[in-house]
Structure 1
């Protein structure tokens, strides 16, 4: 008989923007047994034939990138563990329930006030969809309806206690914690293509100049503009819903 081969694991972390999700992904990219897949649904959302936004204009070579293309990038990755990170608002429209049921789904987010303070300088005209919480809530409920009880990571807790959070997260998703996840020489997730370099440098400047998870910065509260208040309040309710589940099933004792 041929030797048995352990089945490959696909673990996804679905994120709200500016929630330290790329740094979280970077820790998994440091594992010898793991291939990290970085935001495969971005091109679907912004450039594909079924795109939801034309914010960044046209990229003709990406027009055929749809949900099937994105999931093929995940399924075609090599290694015993494939770790997918994407923003929920980019991925959720293109994910079928059948696909979600076949992977381990987890979530990472930070308080909407923190997200707002970080997002506005980078994308001052962001839409409520790009704020990210509505899709995160929808995806959370879909995963629960499939019978999964997903791990939730609070981004600033992760920054404050990276070793404890990662050890508990790994335990919950069935992996052994590797201390090498906590340090790296190069903060990039992967080499960027020419059309990605400027954008990635802007969005991930802190991570790309780091060699470890940095503690959370202390920032003064940022007033919520009146025009954003309804979206902000909806985001807070979703944040509290997911954090309530985190408290009831904590990943850090």
Structure 2
């Protein structure tokens, strides 16, 4: 029986690198942001490659849920990369009871800077950090199990240690193949990959985070201030580095 893992992240985290990491396991297949077309069809948010995304996936929420919970898979593990802002208020999350859920977080100022560089604008809703906390509470209550939280910078600083701890929390063995992967885009990437995945396409593994002096505009800082309480709540729950 396939173990289905749902990783809940906001954008401009190391979510795609994590997808690469799991895909490099021989026992794992990956699913890239399966609710993206649903989200765009409901919001008409002017995202890059809007039309391409809409036609590349099912826009029907129930159909996507069925694919994520019922589809037969040849491999032992299915890793689902999810964006928290794709899960609109009021959607039924009961299907997540069937999965092993985990949450990937990043400091808001870093997310806001990176997102603005990629898209030109950034709102609290765009980066999904407040929604991430809401989903953490909802999924934790539904699953009645501890839901692991892990921070991207901790993985970058100590990939083997932190991935080992994450795998243990998910009840799967660590695989050293998770530490490296081939460069380039791949068939499992969403159609949006040419716009968003430049860095990870050139990567071969987890690179140490670069320290930079982040300068934010007043508007960007307002977004950071709005979402920081949600991030801080989740940060207190994260798997700790040694």
Superposed, which structure 2 residues align to 1:1-253 within 5 Å? 7-46=1-40, 48=41, 51-56=42-47, 58=51, 61=55, 65-75=59-69, 76=71, 78=73, 79-91=75-87, 93=89, 96-146=92-142, 147-190=144-187, 196=191, 199-223=192-216, 225-246=217-238, 250=239, 252-253=241-242
Alpha-carbon distance in 1 for matches of 2:56, 2:163: 35
Alpha-carbon distance in 2 for matches of 1:189, 1:157: 26
User: Which has the higher Rg, Structure 1 or Structure 2?
Assistant: 1
Alpha-carbon distance in 2 for matches of 1:192, 1:141: 29
Distance 1:239 1:77, change over 3 A: farther
Structural RMSD (CA): 2.2
Alpha-carbon distance in 2 for matches of 1:88, 1:33: 26
The answer for unaligned runs of 5 or more in structure 1 is: 1-6
CA positional deviation for 1:58 = 4.6
Higher relative CO (CA 8 A, sep ≥ 6), structure 1 or 2? 2
Distance 1:30 1:120, change over 3 A: same
SS of equivalent to 1:245: coil
SS of equivalent to 1:157: helix
| Matched residue count | 236
Deviations 1:13-42 (A, max 9, x none): 000111101101111001111111111011
The answer for unaligned runs of 5 or more in structure 2 is: none
TM-score where L is the length of structure 2: 0.88
Alpha-carbon distance in 2 for matches of 1:140, 1:43: 23
CA positional deviation for 1:125 = 2.0
Distance 1:181 1:63, change over 3 A: closer
CA positional deviation for 1:201 = 2.5
Distance 1:192 1:103, change over 3 A: closer
Distance 1:238 1:80, change over 3 A: same
The question of whether the paired residues in 1 share the 8 Å contact of 2:8 and 2:82 is answered with yes
Alpha-carbon distance in 2 for matches of 1:184, 1:64: 29
The question of whether the paired residues in 1 share the 8 Å contact of 2:103 and 2:149 is answered with yes
SS of equivalent to 1:153: strand
TM-score where L is the length of structure 1: 0.85
